[in-house]
Amino acid sequence: MNYAQATTLSDRLAELRQRIEVAAAKSGRPPEAIRLVAATKSQPPEVLAELFSLGVEDIGENRVQEAAAKREILGSKGTWHFIGHLQTNKAKRAAHLFDWVQSVDSPELAHALSQGAEALGRRISVLIQVNISGETTKFGIPPEETESLTYEVNSLPGLELHGFFTIAPFAEDPERVRPVFAGMRTLRDRIQAQTGFALPVLSMGMSHDFPIAIEEGSTMVRIGTALLGPRRSRIHR
């Protein structure tokens, strides 16, 4: 699909929501069961403002400094998700800026985030990032270490654990990554059963593969190009 077509943001959002509805129906769920996070890396603040005006509330950012610059302009509007790799030394700043951190991938990061949140008198919603595909180029905890980190994150007073986050390998044919999403769902189900924790959120699926991810149980998709088209600007770190 050519996501760079000269359509309006409103048009792309309507098409995206229709595709989410179709995929959700295939998994036996209503479209409301799928949370859309707009991946706004390198998009200027006016694009985020337009998203808010169209009813998109969830914003996903990959860089702490870029998000800080946008929030200075946009204020407290919306729910802000950190969806990139977070360095431990930036955890305190992230705890101030974000409502969700989806990419918790180590005990050290989890503790730093919890401490930052506690210092602010708040709790941050978090997901554990799992490298379910085993790719060396991707961040995330190995599947075999996920249960241990789940117990640790769940014990931290500044964090509220909701589930898991994963990024599938890119494939021209998204059907090739269906087993990755199915594997993440299976791992979540097993950990949920063994720990007794409620872990309802599976953040998986991006512009090129989100329908497959939804069919395999995703509850949250992170969409950039399919919603926003080509990037129009860059805010430097």
Please check whether residue 40 is in contact with residue 60, taking contact to mean a CB–CB distance below 8 angstroms: yes
How far apart CA 128 and CA 150 sit, in angstroms, is: 7
* DSSP 3-state of 81: strand
- Residue range 9-228 in CATH 3.40.960.10: no
pLDDT of 124-164, one tens digit each?
999 999 999 878 778 999 999 999 999 999 999 999 999 99
Q: What is the pTM of this model?
A: 0.93
Ranges of residues in the chain with a pLDDT under 70 are 1-6, 230-237
132: nearest Cα among 209, 191, 186: 186
Segment (H or E) for 82: strand 79-82
Distances (CA, A) of 7 to 2, 12, 14, 105: 11, 7, 11, 37
Question: In the chain, count of helices (H) and strands (E)?
Answer: 9, 8
